[in-house]
A and B are shown apart, each in its own frame.
Chain A
Amino acid sequence: MILDSQEPTGPIETRWERHRQSIRVVNPANKRKYTVIVVGTGLAGASASATFAQLGYNVKAFSFHDSPRRAHSIAAQGGINAAKNYQNDGDSVWRLFYDTVKGGDYRARESNVYRLAQVSVDIIDQCVAQGVPFAREYGGYLANRSFGGALVSRTFYARGQTGQQLLLGAYQALSEQIGKGKVTMYSRREMLDVALIDGHAKGIIVRNLLTGAIERYAADAVVLATGGYGNVFYLSTNAKASNVTATYRAYRRGAGFANPCFTQIHPTCIPVKGDYQSKLTLMSESLRNDGRVWVPKNKDETRDPSSIPEADRDYYLERIYPTFGNLVPRDVASRAAKKMCDAGFGVGSSGYGVYLDFKDAINRLGEKNIADKYGNLFEMYERITGDSPYKKPMMIYPASHYTMGGLWVDYNLMTTIPGLFAIGEANFSDHGANRLGASALMQGLADGYFVIPYTIGHYLASQTGGFSDTSHASFGDTEADVKAKIEKMLSINGKRTATSFHREVGKIIWDKCGMARDKAGLEEALGRIPAIREEFWSNLCVPGTGSSLNQELERAGRVSDFIDFSEMMVRDALTRDESCGAHFREEHQTPDGEARRDDENYSHGAVWEFTGDGNAPKRNIEPLKFEYVPLTQRSYA
């Protein structure tokens, strides 16, 4: 596998500009000869589809939802970063770049991150022009808040529904193009494979979820904007349908999958209640701006939290990290909570929870002010737990939330398969080993609005355009593979549901490859996954047929890919014999319990290559160079 990052050299400030000068461009009159398939219509996919169409390309957009507006981007609460420096607090493109590289614990490509910081300012402008109702100050100008891991206030937000408003902005831009006929929207279609012709991605195979029909679509290039794989843990804050199938099946066709073990555990989620639990709910980490995290000093504490005096509380984040306090990055906050709970200081029925307390903020700013900022989050919390955060501290615990790993892409966002691109959470490019708060929305929209619309032209200009031959043998072979897999799942007639397998594998991954990992645990997980796979393929039960709407069949297909994928994820965690960012190997920590990197041996992206069923995948590496941000031990103390 050749991993040529295509990144420009020379001064980092002008790399993106110079790159745009040097890549090929499709003549405006010729753009209409090209068709692009975009799979997934969340922030990245919708923004890319709309922008491609504005440029003149023909777009076929696919979503497994009934409408692009359902994509999981919609659930992002807190905000979106941009280096606008509207607060005059010293922010700059450089500082956002620096924070992102450092926050990612030096496992991201500098050129990509710098570009991300550069285009961040354009995203805000674009979204405001679309009518995204960002929060404003009384003077009418845009408001900001600060967010975990940053010392400046650069986060733009729309109440607690920033993701919703940004997605609706992109959805509306996409809808305009659908209405004008430049984008053909294929909803309720699930991509099940990518068709390659002479090694280039030239189409996809999808299942029409309403009719069960297996359909072929051809194009001159394929863009995957299919999100992350956080549901590998079964319980996560991801939406129920979020899955790894599109990217995993692209991997099976030859796309390198980078850093699958880099998964982010979000520190502020509502703790698990019982075995029937279907998902976990996130409480925006913007809450940590005003909330203070604590546990009782006494392990046997039984008092109601509101009546525990200050002297008996341990505000452990403020104690251990006096500079950042409650605003330390997510991985640091998550592990600290785990450590306190493992040591027996946890609260709640399971003992796996910590308090997030707003009493001081309410006293300082008033209840009205707090309600303006977090009203809907408090309401959501009360709805689920029955407790009001105005009166009683919230209880929170970390949960799987975001995945930094994804398909390997070069500077043009192209995977190792020519013509196959990956954008948004589906790729691995910008967050390294840990993503900072309010950076996911930024990256999804950066890729969709401001990066791929330029870089795809470089590839398309090398193609003749107008490819539409779905009768090519490659489509037939790929479709046959897809059909065979579906038939096999339907014919097992076993006893267990797909969900039961998902729970089983998810629990292993959470226990052994979650917030903290070690060699023994990872090896144990690696030993147990094959048995789950074997039972899946001999004892699965999927009622109904393949030729009609069948949600159980959809689930089974996704679970089968999660099982296979989880093995690669564990392998990646095992072979990355260092700690970095969210990947915390117990064997590698500093005396004060921080992740200890091994830059000598692991300053690279690990890119997995499929070598056939039953064979171990091959680990390739893309070495990382740090020319601008000096490698230092990350410290938030």
Chain B
Amino acid sequence: MKVEMRVWRQDGPDAQGKFESYPVEVVEAMSFLEALDVINEQLVEQGQEPIVFEHDCREGICGSCGAMVNGRAHGPGDRSTLCQVHMRQFKDGDVIYVEPWRAGAFPVLKDLMVDRSSFDRIIQAGGYISVRTGSAPDGNAIPIGKAVSDEAMSAAECIGCGACVAACPNASASLFTSAKISHLSLLPQGDPERSRVLEMVKVMDDEGFGSCTNHGECSSVCPKGIDLRYIGRMNRELLRQLVHPSKGQLA
């Protein structure tokens, strides 16, 4: 089948971008990124610069890929990253618009590639448990109920792709930030440093991400289905820390 990809091309962060049209012959079993590969191979053979896009594992776990496809982050899949979308989800003759994530805190670097280092800085502000290598007690020393452990795992599944930010009308990073805060604050090991929420939220704001106004777009496009309830948990953590600074144990 044949589709027309209209892809955002932009030379650099300060350059003016525009859509370029690429008609391409594809097969249904092809992944979306493989369709982009086909276009790129043809461009290179013609001596033209290929479309820049990020990707790596191509199995939905590294969080590298992502683009707005027909206005939806990661395209038409349900709980999919862009690399997990297949051309059978389109039909012959479709016109497909492909754009980078749009958010002030994610400047476009080139074409579909954006700078998501702001996510790293949020984690650096407190998204960890301080434990020196070698000083850990036996793994079974602290029993953790299966329900709590499972809930922490569900929050920890975030792949840091940034679709939540791209989908949010406010470009908020609340889902991303709250997932890490929830993962760590749910576990007894993370309890002593529950004031992390203060630093992480501050960096999130300083990086220029917007506030959460409960649209829920983030969760609906999240490839890992990270739930909105974690944002509620983050807000509770924040309130608790504002009222009782550093009193994780009492919470």
- Cα A324 to Cα B85 in complex, Å, equals 37
Across the interface, name the chain B residue whose C-beta is closest to A277. B34
A-chain residues with CB within 8 Å of residue B80 when the two chains form the complex: 383
Task: Give the residue of B144, B156, B160 whose beta carbon is less than 8 angstroms from that of A165.
Answer: B156
Contact B136 A380 (CB under 8 A): no
A-chain residues with CB within 8 Å of residue B125 when the two chains form the complex: 179
From A69-77, A426-434, A562-570, the one touching the partner chain is A69-77
Contact A129 B137 (CB under 8 A): yes
B residues near A (Cβ < 8 Å) are: 12, 27, 29-31, 33-34, 37-38, 41, 43-45, 47-50, 52, 54-64, 77, 79-80, 84, 86, 88, 109-110, 113, 115-117, 119-120, 123-140, 142-146, 149-150, 152-153, 156-157, 159-160, 183-184, 187, 189-190
Contact A129 B44 (CB under 8 A): no
- Cα A472 to Cα B24 in complex, Å, equals 51
Contact B49 A544 (CB under 8 A): yes
Query: 1/0 contact trace for A34-67 toward B, CB 8 Å?
Result: 0000000000000100110010000000000111
Contact A131 B183 (CB under 8 A): yes
- Cα A500 to Cα B47 in complex, Å, equals 15
Query: 1/0 contact trace for A174-204 toward B, CB 8 Å?
Result: 0110110000010100000000000000000
Interface centre among A128, A131, A552 (most CB of B within 10 A): A131
Contact A126 B133 (CB under 8 A): yes
Contact B146 A136 (CB under 8 A): yes
- Cα A134 to Cα B133 in complex, Å, equals 18
How many Å from the CB of B101 to the closest CB on chain A?
Answer: 12
- Cα A386 to Cα B58 in complex, Å, equals 17
How many Å from the CB of B230 to the closest CB on chain A?
Answer: 14
How many Å from the CB of B92 to the closest CB on chain A?
Answer: 17
B-chain residues with CB within 8 Å of residue A71 when the two chains form the complex: 62
Is A493 interfacial (CB 8 A cutoff)? yes
Task: Give the residue of B41, B62, B152 whose beta carbon is less than 8 angstroms from that of A497.
Answer: B41
- Cα A159 to Cα B153 in complex, Å, equals 8
Task: Give the residue of B84, B128, B131, B137 whose beta carbon is less than 8 angstroms from that of A175.
Answer: B128
Q: Which residues between 91 and 149 of chain A lie within 8 Å of chain B, taking CB atoms?
A: 122, 124-131, 133-142
Is A626 interfacial (CB 8 A cutoff)? no
Contact B143 A140 (CB under 8 A): yes
Query: 1/0 contact trace for A532-563 toward B, CB 8 Å?
Result: 00000000011110001111100000000000
B-chain residues with CB within 8 Å of residue A241 when the two chains form the complex: 56
Is A281 interfacial (CB 8 A cutoff)? yes
Contact B27 A70 (CB under 8 A): no
A-chain residues with CB within 8 Å of residue B142 when the two chains form the complex: 128
A-chain residues with CB within 8 Å of residue B136 when the two chains form the complex: 122, 125-126, 128-129
Q: Which residues between 16 and 45 of chain A lie within 8 Å of chain B, taking CB atoms?
A: none
- Cα A386 to Cα B61 in complex, Å, equals 19
Is A172 interfacial (CB 8 A cutoff)? yes
How many Å from the CB of A283 to the closest CB on chain B?
Answer: 10
Contact A130 B146 (CB under 8 A): no
How many Å from the CB of A332 to the closest CB on chain B?
Answer: 25
Is A168 interfacial (CB 8 A cutoff)? yes
Contact A278 B183 (CB under 8 A): no
Task: Give the residue of B58, B116, B139 whose beta carbon is less than 8 angstroms from that of A66.
Answer: B116
- Cα A380 to Cα B84 in complex, Å, equals 8
B-chain residues with CB within 8 Å of residue A128 when the two chains form the complex: 136, 139, 142, 189
B-chain residues with CB within 8 Å of residue A47 when the two chains form the complex: 133
Contact B140 A158 (CB under 8 A): no
- Cα A219 to Cα B62 in complex, Å, equals 30
How many Å from the CB of B157 to the closest CB on chain A?
Answer: 7
Task: Give the residue of A74, A137, A172, A379 whose beta carbon is less than 8 angstroms from that of B61.
Answer: A74
- Cα A86 to Cα B139 in complex, Å, equals 10
Closest 7 CB pairs of A and B: A140-B143, A179-B124, A129-B136, A172-B128, A133-B153, A125-B136, A239-B56
Interchain Cβ contacts under 8 Å between A and B, 14 examples: A65-B64, A70-B63, A126-B134, A129-B129, A130-B128, A130-B131, A133-B150, A168-B156, A176-B124, A178-B120, A178-B124, A279-B58, A542-B44, A543-B49
Contact A276 B110 (CB under 8 A): no
- Cα A79 to Cα B55 in complex, Å, equals 24
How many Å from the CB of B244 to the closest CB on chain A?
Answer: 22
A-chain residues with CB within 8 Å of residue B131 when the two chains form the complex: 126, 129-130, 173
Across the interface, name the chain B residue whose C-beta is closest to A54. B132
Contact A133 B128 (CB under 8 A): no
Contact B37 A278 (CB under 8 A): yes
Contact A67 B120 (CB under 8 A): yes
